[in-house]
Chain A
Amino acid sequence: MKPKRALSNIYIALIMLFLYAPMLVMVVFSFNGTSSTGVLDGFSTKWYGELLKDSVTLQALTNTLILAVTSSLIAMVLGTAAAVGIHSMKKKWLKTSVLTVTNIPMVNPEIVTGVSMMLLFVFVGRLVGKSDVLGFPTLLIAHVTFSLPYVILSVLPKLRQTDRHLGEAAQDLGCPPVTAFFKVILPNISSGIITGLIMAFTLSLDDFIISYFVSGPKFQTLPIVIFSMTKKKVKPDMYALSTLIFLAVLLLLVLMNIMQARAEKKEKKAQSARL
C-alpha cells in the first residue's frame, strides 16, 4: 500500500506544480528590480508603488467591484423569483422550455454570448439614434444575464427539497402568500440563494470575454484593463496587481475552509451528543 500512496502523492505534487508554476512566476517577477517580465534582476517593491499611482487600474478595480456587487444582487433577486416561478409551473412544456432558455447562457460559448449581446445593444442603439450605448448599463445587463442561470440552478434543488405543502399550510392558517413565502419558504432555500449569489459575484469579478464585447470607454473593468496591458509593453506592475488578488483569494479560501471545517466539527459533536 505504501509505495502506492507515495506514487499518488507525487502525482498530486506534479499537478500542483503545473497549476501553480505560472502563479509562482507572477509573484516572483512582481518583485523584479527592472521592468522586465523575462529576466530577474534584483529585488524591489517599486512595482507595487507604480501600481498605486496608476489611477486607471485603481479605477478599474473599483468599477469591477461595483459591477460585481450590483449584478450579483440583481441576479440573486431576479433568479430567486424565477426559480420560485419555475418551480410552481404546472405545464410541463412551459417548464422545460423556460429551463432550456435558462441554460443558453451556460452552454453557449462565451464569445457567442458576448457578440450576440453586443449586436443587440448596437442594433437598439442605432434604432434610438444613440452612438454610445456601450457602458455600465450594457455591462450590467450582460453580467446579470450570464449569472442568472447559476442562481436559478442553485435555488431550484433547494425548492424541490422543501415540502410543497409547507407554503400551503401557512396560507391555510391565514398567512398571505407573500408573508408565507418570506416566513416559510425563504429560510428553507436561503443556502441555495447564497451559493447562487457567491457564484454570480465571482463570475462577474472574473469575466473578460463577454465584458470585452459589451463595454465602452467610460466604464472599464479590471480584466479589460489587464487585457490592454498585455497588449503593450508588459510591466511587472501587472504582476504586482495579480499577486495582490492572489493573496486576497487565498485568504478568502483559507477562511472559508476553516469555517467549513468548524461547522462540520460542530455538527459532528452535536450528532454524537444526540447519540
Chain B
Amino acid sequence: MKKIISVVLALALCAGILALSGCGGTQTVELDTSRLVGNYDVPELRGTEINVYNWGEYVSDGSEDTLDVIQAFEDVTGIQVNYTMYDSNEDMYAKMKSGGASYDVVIPSDYMIARMIEEGMLQTIDFANVPNYSYIADDFKNLYFDPDNAYSVPYTGGMVGLIYNTTMVEGTPDSWEIMWDEAYSGQILMFNNPRDAFGIAQFLLGQSVNTTDAAQWQAAADKLIEQKPVVQSYVMDEVFDKMESGEAAIAAYYGGDYLTMADINPALAFVYPKEGTNIFVDSMCIPANANNKAAAELFINFMCEPEIALANAEYLCYLCPHTAVLEDERYTLRDNEVLYPQQEVKTEYFYNLDRDTQDLLSRLWEQVKLA
C-alpha cells in the first residue's frame, strides 16, 4: 500500500503545478526574429547542447516583462542551453579546474581571463563565426588581458563603487573610509570574494591592487580583519535584497547593479570614492575543453545581436560595449552618470597575479574569513 504513496507524491507535485498553469501565467516578451542580423538556422547544430556558465543576475532572464534571452536562443537555434551560474571569478575558476565539468561559454573578468589564457584553459575564437564582433566598440578591443583579440568577446564592463542609503547615512561620503566607520557598525556589506574585497582595502591604503609586495598584501589583510567587527555580512548578489530593503546602509558593489537597486529603492545613492576604484571588463570566452565550439560561437554571436545586447544592457544596467546599442534611441542609460561619468574617475584594472601572490592572496583571504 505504501508503494502508492511515493507515486502520489510525484503526482501531487505535478498536478499542483499543472493546475496552476491554467491560471497565473504572466506575459512573456517575444523576440522579433526579423530584427536578428545573423543566421541562426544551422541544421547540424539543432538538437545539440551547450553549457553556459555565467555570473548570477547577468542575463536578461524573462522575469517581470523582460526578454528571456536564453529561451530566445534556444527557440531560434534549437540548441539546448544548460545555463548555470557562479558567484565570483574564483568560484568559476575552481569549478573549471576541477576537471569534473566542462563548459562551452564562460564569462570571466579581465584578470581571470589573463590567468586562464596563461594556464591554457581557453581556446581562440574563430571570429569568422562571430560576425557581430564588429559591433564591439574600439575602446573594448586590444585590452591588456587579450591584446590580440583572440580569446574574448566583451560582454559588459563597469566600475566598483560605494552604494549607500541616504536615509541611513549622514552627509555624502566620498571615501572607502566609511566602510570602516564604527558609526555604521552592523550596517556595512562587504564583498565576499578575495580580489574585490582586498581591492577596497588596497585603494584605501593607497597601494596598487596589483602589488607583488607580500607586506602590502598583509597590511591589506590586517585592514580587512580590522573591518570585520563593523561588517554586517559578506555578500555577493545577496546585496540586492539587503540594500533594497534597507537592511544594510552601506555596500561596495558593481555600479550597474546599483542602478537595478535604485529602481526599487530610490533612497539609494552611489559614489565613486576618491581613493580610486576597480574597473573591469567581463568577456565571453570558450574554454579549451569545450565540447561544442560551433554552438558556443553561435551563442556568442547571438549575444552580440543588437536586439539581444539591448535587452541585456537594459536589464543588467552595466556598461555596454556594443556600438549599435549605444546609438539605439531605445537605450535609456546612455547619459547615465553612474555608467558614463562626466568627471574623471580614478581607476585601476586587476591584473593577473603571479602564482606566489595568488597563493598568498587566497591564504590571507581565508585568514580574514576565519578570523
The answer to whether A217 touches B1 (Cβ under 8 A) is no
Give 8 A-B pairs besides A220-B82, A231-B56 with Cβ atoms closer than 8 angstroms: A48-B23, A122-B100, A133-B100, A244-B20, A248-B16, A252-B5, A252-B8, A256-B2
The answer to whether A255 touches B8 (Cβ under 8 A) is yes
B206 within 8 A of A: no
- Whole-angstrom CA separation of A234 from B245 in the bound complex: 12
- Whole-angstrom CA separation of A164 from B68 in the bound complex: 63
Q: Knowing A46-B24, A53-B28 touch, does A249 contact B6 (C-beta < 8 A)?
A: no
Residues of A within 8 A of B6 (CB): 72, 197-198, 201
Question: Which one of B232-240, B318-326, B340-348 is at the interface?
Answer: B232-240
A83-126 interface with B by 8 A CB criterion = 118, 121-122, 125-126
- Whole-angstrom CA separation of A251 from B20 in the bound complex: 17
A156 within 8 A of B: no
A36 within 8 A of B: yes
The answer to whether A118 touches B100 (Cβ under 8 A) is yes
Residues of B within 8 A of A133 (CB): 99-100
Residues of A within 8 A of B247 (CB): 38
* Interface residue range, chain A: 35 or more
Please classify the interface of chain A as helix (H, G, I), strand (E, B), loop, or mixed, using the class held by over half of its residues: helix
Residues of A within 8 A of B49 (CB): 218
Sample (12) of A-B pairs whose CB atoms are under 8 Å apart: A36-B241, A48-B23, A49-B25, A52-B20, A52-B25, A53-B28, A58-B17, A118-B98, A134-B101, A251-B8, A252-B8, A256-B2
The count of residues in chain B whose C-beta lies closer than 8 Å to any C-beta of chain A is 51
Which 4 residue pairs across A and B have the least CB separation, nearest first?
Answer: A49-B24, A134-B100, A132-B102, A232-B56
The answer to whether A36 touches B13 (Cβ under 8 A) is no
Residues of B within 8 A of A216 (CB): 100-101
The answer to whether A53 touches B241 (Cβ under 8 A) is no
The answer to whether B13 touches A245 (Cβ under 8 A) is yes
The answer to whether A217 touches B101 (Cβ under 8 A) is yes
A259 within 8 A of B: yes
A186 within 8 A of B: no
Residue of B nearest to A241 (CB): B17
Tell me, rounded to whole Å, the shortest Cβ–Cβ distance linking A53 to chain B.
6
- Whole-angstrom CA separation of A231 from B3 in the bound complex: 36
The answer to whether A233 touches B9 (Cβ under 8 A) is no
- Whole-angstrom CA separation of A263 from B24 in the bound complex: 40
Q: Knowing A52-B25, A53-B28, A58-B17 touch, does A248 contact B100 (C-beta < 8 A)?
A: no
Residues of B within 8 A of A45 (CB): 20, 23-24
The answer to whether B236 touches A259 (Cβ under 8 A) is no
A10 within 8 A of B: no
B291 within 8 A of A: yes
